[in-house]
Structure 1
Amino acid sequence: MRKHIPNLITLLNLFSGCIAVIFAVNDDLEYAAYFVFLGIFFDFFDGFAARALKVQSELGLQLDSLADMVTSGVVPGIAMYQMLQWSTGDVVPTTMTETMAWKEFNFLPLFGLLITLASAYRLANFNIDTNQTNSFIGLPTPANTLLILSFPLILQFENGEGLHEFVLNKWFLIILTLVSSYMLNAKIPLFALKFKTWGFRTNAVRYIFLFLSVCMIATMQYLAIPFIIILYVALSIIVKLIKW
Structure 2
Amino acid sequence: MILIKRQIPNFITLLNLLSGSVATVFAVQGELSLATLFVALGIFFDFFDGLAARVLNVKSDLGLQLDSLADMVTSGLVPGLVMCQLLSQSIGSSTGLVFLSSDVNWMIFTGLIITLGSAYRLAKFNIDERQTDSFIGLPTPANALLILSLALILEYHPESLISSWFENTYVLVFISIISTLLLNAELKLFALKFKNLNFKENWFRYFILVFSIVTLVWLQFIAIPLIILTYILLSIALQMRD
Range of TM-score over shorter length: over 0.9
Partner of 1:140: 139
Distance in 2 between the 1:235 and 1:201 partners? 16
What's the counterpart of residue 56 of structure 1? Answer: 59
Q: What residue identity is the alignment partner of 2:174? A: I
- Equivalent-residue separation in structure 2 for 1:200 and 1:161 (angstroms): 36
Q: Which string of whole-angstrom CA distances, capped at 9 and with x for unpartnered residues, describes residues 127-162 of structure 1?
A: 011111111000000000000000111111114164
* Aligned equivalent of 2:176: 177
Moved more, 4-13 or 216-225: 4-13
Report the Cα distance in structure 1 between the residues aligned to 2:11 and 2:201, rounded to whole angstroms. 31
Residue in 1 aligned with 2:70? 67
CA-CA distance at 1:92 after TM superposition:
2.1
Residue of structure 2 aligned with 1:30, choices 23, 33, 42:
33
Query: Matched residue of 1:56: which SS?
Result: coil
The TM-score normalised by the length of structure 1 is 0.94
CA deviations on 1:57-107 (whole Å, 9 max, x unpaired) are 1111111100000000000000000000000001227666x42xxxx3311
Residue in 1 aligned with 2:88?
85
Cα distance change, pair 3–198 in 1 and its aligned pair in 2 (3 A): farther
The question of 1:14 aligning with 2:17 is answered yes
Structure 1 residue 119 displacement after superposition: 0.3
Distance 1:156 1:105, change over 3 A: closer
1:234 paired residue number: 233
Letter in 2 for 1:30: S
Q: Which amino acid aligns with 2:93?
A: D
3-state SS, counterpart of residue 136 of structure 1:
strand
Distance of 2:99 and 2:38 partners within structure 1:
28
Partners in 2 of 1:15 and 1:210 — Cα distance?
Answer: 28
> What stretches of structure 1 of length at least 5 have no aligned partner?
none
- Structure 1 pair 234/30, CA: closer, same or farther in 2 (3 Å)? same
